[in-house]
Structure 1
Amino acid sequence: MPEGSPKTPAKSAAKRPSTAKAGLADEVRKALDADIDRLETGSQMWSHLTLSQRATLMERLASSVGAVAEEWADTAAISKELEPGHPLRGEEWLSGPYGTLTALEAYGSTLRALAAGASPLNAVKIDTAAGGRTRAHVFPLSRVDSLLLSGYTGEIWFEPGVTQRDARESAGLAQLTPSDSGGVGLVLGAGNITSIPVLDVIYELLAHNRVALLKVNPTQDSLVPVFERALAPLIEPGFLKIIRGDGAVGAYLTTHPRISHVHITGAATTFDAIVWGPSKGAGSAATTKRRRENKPKLTKPITAELGGVSPIIVVPGEWSDADLKFQAEHITTMRLQNSGHNCIAGQVVIISRDWAQREDFLAALRTAYDAAPRRSAWYPRSNEKLETAGSTYPNAHWCAGGTRALIEIGADDDASALETTEYFAPVLGVVALTGNGQEFLDAAVAHANDKLIGTLGANVIIDPRTLDTLGDNFEQSMADLRYGTIAINAWTALGFLTPTLSWGGFPGASLEDVESGIGIVHNALLLDRVERSVVRGPFRPFPRSVGAVMRPGTFSVLPKPPWFVTSRTGAGVSEGLTRFRIDRNWVGLAKTLAKAFGA
């Protein structure tokens, strides 16, 4: 909730402390201070907007984002070394403008409901999940979503003790008190997925009534002109300012007395450096002392979305050859989308050593991992990460001409490096445990909880027959899995892209042990006391999903999803879906869906 109202610009300027030691030129400091002056004025203006006016603002943003969507996707693709015609350019449509447009639409619906005096949850089915938790079925909420993501569903699980009445009455967060100001927040943007900084800014505004100073990651500098046009409806009235800058700029702003809150998307090491100070070199002794005395260097609130090592739990069952191939491509996508530069990229596949089809599965995985389209590891220091993996695991399989590593941990091998190092690069590992059925699932959940660092997201793949056999025990296992997003027969990235779901680490992290972060984002229904999101998808694509109509499982009319790195038509379909979100042209959508069946 809001941490207090900002000072007026005049009073703030009078009390402004010296910044001579900040390591910045005077003109840079003055420019940053002037930006904060304008944002403080914008904060006052924001507090006077009605909920209906804010809903209209979301519509204006959708129009301005739509106007630059093609340039956004093209600029992002070029910055990631994806040349025109590359089959993976569709990733930049989905993870950039598409994700932003769906979020704006969902936030607009929430604001209109609140403006009418209703809870955003009034039209949402609420029931009980494992462990007695209150659960809201927040996706799909429209026929369009049901059509575009046929077979996929999403749930919010609230923290234990939250009742249905609590959930409904608290939905809205800061928009329940729209005139209260949260001041000026600093958003330190991510460098990998282009919608992240934009969505973080919108969440600051709506969840906390906080205007934002957005410092983009240097990897996204080329997108700043696009962002400035896309977000002009926020920039013009002073609700947002976008800046570039190096670490010195970030250091100055995080300690600025008129920044009320910091939000970062990045690595735990960066978070720790902001909160405690440098861990190496000059200043490290002071950092150690601060940690020992539990006196953080940062004295203002901070939230964070950080990464980790994400598991992919493969529950043994009886799979067809087509199942093996499809799920191998599914797992390959979890690792190789965006060349593995994702905080939510699957990194450790957990399988059963006793699974009768273990070798068949591994053979399919090797084939899919090697055959996926080649691309560069473009993120800074990626080659170092790959070299580290190769040095630690000299028996790794190097696929696609040596550009990606597949590490199969043997019975006598040490998996600790694989399980505690977020490679943020195309490195995929396989770890085998004993058991079948519930015995294996219990062991896999415990292994993921206790051996893998991070709590951001976990993936579980299970066929319909096995799911039916496990019954309620499976749901209890999901409750025991301590991750902020769980994807069952889906990838947790669907949780990221679904605006009515929450995104962030599992509750319980602290400044001392930040794990995968503190707080959540996205959450377009503005729900309070969220524990996790759960995504469910089809084990089989259409037409093989037809069998799910007659037995437990999920039916879908979708063929291979366009986000699969192995989709032949993914680029065109992803662009077409985004254009439909912009123009609602049903003829164009029909052509896009027809193209999808050529995947």
Structure 2
Amino acid sequence: AGYVRTLYLANPEETRQLIHHPLVDCVHMTGGTVTHDAIVWGSTPEEQERRRKANDPLLKVPITSELGCVSPFIVAGWQFTPKELTVQANNLVVAMTSNNGCNCNSAKVLVLPADWPQSAAFLETVRSVLRGTPHDPPYYPGIHESACADARVAHPPPPTHIPHGSLQAVDSLRYGVVAVNAWSAASCILGACTWGAFSGGQTAADVGSGVGVVGNPFLVEGVQKAVYRTPVDGAGVPKPFHVQPIPLAAARLVLGFVVDGWRGLLRGVWAR
């Protein structure tokens, strides 16, 4: 048994002092490759190049990392009911807009079959859901520039079909989590899957989307990726409050527990 303490550090220098402290024997981080390389190889391009050539990392202890990627949202070209189409449009919008698109697994690329008859209906449903979705404040540094840059990029046409069928396609995708009929964040929220980059031989020198996994409550060894499947009608996917508001009684219980632990929970029960 041990202790966990959360620290909110005021500046990068305090963070550097912490991760390089003699009592720290391993580091885990989430963020981007720029932050990872600054931790492992040094704070300037010159230092990083010198240390890489000498194979002399600044960080002397093991590091695992979860760095995100350009996550695709892939729609298979079968016939959806109107309800299923709306559910999947909601899934996409939540994946796009949650935390203003700054999550490590935010949906960044939409892949549709070129000859899918429901493409126009799906895109219009997405636009309709977007218009009714509240957005978080755009706090993340550089988000305005990134959004404008993305809007000006011309993407090539999507593939016309999924080769070898859906199951084979899921097997071949090199992502740490593949979610079927849901945003991959659902697997992280439920806590039953591993979470991290696809295990493809990454190292601290060539980190890709990260090294190692978190989660893994069943202690499975040698995990390459996790696949999370849920019904196409969205029945097994947690939904944001603006889509499915939490009942008042349940909200009272949750808030009571957050504010005052078990005593607050019991007061919420009695208040009912």
Q: TM-score range by the shorter chain?
A: 0.7 to 0.9
- Determine whether 1:327 maps to 2:88: yes
Alpha carbons of 1:573 and 1:532: their partners in 2 closer, same or farther (altered >3 Å)? farther
2:158 aligned partner: 433
Give the deviation of 1:295 after TM superposition.
2.5
- The answer (yes or no) to whether the contact 2:193–2:217 under 8 Å persists in 1 is yes
Identify which of 290, 293, 299 aligns with 2:54: 293
Identify which of 213, 225, 228 aligns with 1:520: 213
Identify which of 11, 18, 21 aligns with 1:253: 18
**CA deviation profile, 1:324-357 (whole Å, cap 9, x unmatched):** 2221112101111233231122121111121122
2:187 aligned partner: 495
Identify which of 151, 154, 168 aligns with 1:476: 168
Give the deviation of 1:568 after TM superposition.
4.6
**CA deviation profile, 1:263-294 (whole Å, cap 9, x unmatched):** 11222111110111124xxxx32221222333
2:8 aligned partner: 244
- Determine whether 1:388 maps to 2:146: yes
- SS of the equivalent of 1:347 reads strand
Identify which of 137, 162, 171 aligns with 1:376: 137
Q: How does 1:60-79 map to 2 (within 5 A)?
A: none
- The answer (yes or no) to whether the contact 1:562–1:573 under 8 Å persists in 2 is no
2:37 aligned partner: 272
- Determine whether 1:311 maps to 2:72: yes
Q: Distance in 2 between matches of 1:577 and 1:341?
A: 30
- SS of the equivalent of 2:6 reads strand
**CA deviation profile, 1:136-175 (whole Å, cap 9, x unmatched):** xxxxxxxxxxxxxxxxxxxxxxxxxxxxxxxxxxxxxxxx
Q: How does 1:100-499 map to 2 (within 5 A)?
A: 239-245=3-9, 246-279=11-44, 284-377=45-138, 379-381=139-141, 384-391=142-149, 393-394=151-152, 413=154, 415=155, 432-435=157-160, 440-442=161-163, 473-499=165-191
Q: Distance in 2 between matches of 1:531 and 1:496?
A: 16
1:506 aligned partner: 198
- The answer (yes or no) to whether the contact 2:37–2:48 under 8 Å persists in 1 is no
Question: Which AA in structure 2 matches 1:302?
Answer: I
**CA deviation profile, 1:366-405 (whole Å, cap 9, x unmatched):** 111222124322x331xx32233324534xxxxxxxxxxx
Give the deviation of 1:244 after TM superposition.
3.1
- Determine whether 1:536 maps to 2:229: yes
1:10 aligned partner: none
The structure with the larger Rg is 1
Alpha carbons of 1:387 and 1:565: their partners in 2 closer, same or farther (altered >3 Å)? farther
Give the deviation of 1:253 after TM superposition.
2.4
- The answer (yes or no) to whether the contact 1:504–1:519 under 8 Å persists in 2 is yes
Give the deviation of 1:534 after TM superposition.
1.3
**CA deviation profile, 1:235-282 (whole Å, cap 9, x unmatched):** xxxx33433322111112222233211111222111110111124xxx
- The answer (yes or no) to whether the contact 2:99–2:136 under 8 Å persists in 1 is no
Q: Distance in 1 between matches of 2:103 and 2:148?
A: 20
- The answer (yes or no) to whether the contact 2:71–2:109 under 8 Å persists in 1 is yes
Q: How many residues align?
A: 262
- SS of the equivalent of 2:232 reads coil
- The answer (yes or no) to whether the contact 2:32–2:67 under 8 Å persists in 1 is yes
Q: TM-score, normalised by structure 2?
A: 0.83
**CA deviation profile, 1:409-448 (whole Å, cap 9, x unmatched):** 7xxx2x3xxxxxxxxxxxxxxx74132xxxx223xxxxxx
- SS of the equivalent of 2:69 reads coil
Give the deviation of 1:526 after TM superposition.
2.5
Alpha carbons of 1:307 and 1:478: their partners in 2 closer, same or farther (altered >3 Å)? same
Kindly report the root-mean-square deviation, in angstroms, between the aligned alpha carbons of the 2 structures: 3.0
Q: Which has the higher helix share?
A: 1
Alpha carbons of 1:525 and 1:285: their partners in 2 closer, same or farther (altered >3 Å)? same
Question: Which AA in structure 2 matches 1:332?
Answer: V
Question: Which AA in structure 1 matches 2:207?
Answer: V
- The answer (yes or no) to whether the contact 1:265–1:305 under 8 Å persists in 2 is yes
- The answer (yes or no) to whether the contact 1:336–1:565 under 8 Å persists in 2 is no
- SS of the equivalent of 2:191 reads coil
Q: Distance in 1 between matches of 2:253 and 2:229?
A: 21
- SS of the equivalent of 2:225 reads strand
Structure 1 unaligned segments of length 5 or more: list them: 1-45, 47-233, 395-408, 416-430, 443-469, 542-555, 592-599
**CA deviation profile, 1:475-501 (whole Å, cap 9, x unmatched):** 222121111111001111111112232
- The answer (yes or no) to whether the contact 1:329–1:566 under 8 Å persists in 2 is no
1:567 aligned partner: 243
- SS of the equivalent of 2:112 reads strand
- SS of the equivalent of 1:531 reads coil
Q: Distance in 1 between matches of 2:214 and 2:150?
A: 35
- Report the identity percentage: 29
Give the deviation of 1:565 after TM superposition.
6.0
Structure 2 unaligned segments of length 5 or more: list them: none
Alpha carbons of 1:532 and 1:572: their partners in 2 closer, same or farther (altered >3 Å)? farther
- SS of the equivalent of 2:162 reads helix
- The answer (yes or no) to whether the contact 1:262–1:303 under 8 Å persists in 2 is yes
- SS of the equivalent of 2:66 reads strand
- The answer (yes or no) to whether the contact 1:333–1:565 under 8 Å persists in 2 is no
- The answer (yes or no) to whether the contact 2:85–2:122 under 8 Å persists in 1 is yes
Alpha carbons of 1:497 and 1:578: their partners in 2 closer, same or farther (altered >3 Å)? farther
- SS of the equivalent of 1:243 reads coil
Question: Which AA in structure 1 matches 2:148?
Answer: G
Q: Distance in 1 between matches of 2:102 and 2:250?
A: 20
